[in-house]
Amino acid sequence: MRMDKQNLSITPSEVIEYLFCPRFIFFMNCLCIPQHEEKRYKVLKGRELHEEKQKENRDYLRKKISCVQKDIIVYLSSSRYHLRGEIDEVLYFADGTMAPLDYKFAEYKDTIYRTHRIQSVLYALLIKDNYQCEVRKGYVCYIRSKYLLKEMSFSDKDFENAQQIIKDVLNVIQHGFYPSKAKSLARCVDCCYKNICV
């Protein structure tokens, strides 16, 4: 999170934390209590993968979906959407539209998780605002399923929904709003905040 009240911006990862449990953002950003370090494993693993991906340059994926050009590891920010983040690949299509591609160090399990979808919609908002172009699709590449590539179509509702979630996260950060608990209380069992979360 960047804490300039006017230009406050959050990252898709912070949005995903919020979706896992809305109180994470409150404890981390309002009370400044960090999560345990072991939770950072996935983040570190992600960083390693970023480096590998740069080297790999999987052009055959691009050909598979008829994309005409791509930018790799693109950092974008948008004051309009109060967002910032790094996109694995920004894809260009012949019809003038663009799309984000996100690599996941995960297996594809018959469905695209809601969090993966929302993350891609957030990247799409960043692309729309920075490249001033239409974004109707997003892609997730599942590394542990032999680089299986999945396409998602985005509707206006997806963009509205993503913007509402951003608004909710900002409400916690800017106004110290204490949000509701995680939807599933099973998430509380191993939570590092369980002793202070009332």
Query: HEC states along 154-175?
Result: CCHHHHHHHHHHHHHHHHHHHH
Largest CA distance in the chain: 54
Closer by beta carbon to ligand SF4, 24 or else 81:
24
Subset of residues 18 to 47 that bind ligand SF4, contact rule: CB under 6 A:
21, 23-24
Q: Which is nearer to ligand SF4, 2 or 39 (CB)?
A: 39
Of the two residues 24 and 154, which places its CB atom closer to ligand SF4 in the complex?
A: 24
Which residues touch 170 (CB under 8 Å, ≥6 apart)? 8, 10, 82
Positions 154 through 183 that interact with ligand SF4 (CB under 6 A): 181-182
The answer to the question of residue 193 lying near ligand SF4 (CB under 6 A) is yes
CB-neighbour burial class of residue 180 (10 A; exposed 0-12, middle 13-18, buried 19+): exposed
- By CB under 6 A, the count of residues binding ligand SF4 is 11
Question: H/E element holding 14?
Answer: helix 12-20
Query: Of 140 and 191, which CB lies nearer to ligand SF4 in the complex structure?
Result: 191
Residues interacting with ligand SF4, by CB under 6 A?
A: 21, 23-24, 181-182, 187-188, 191, 193-194, 197
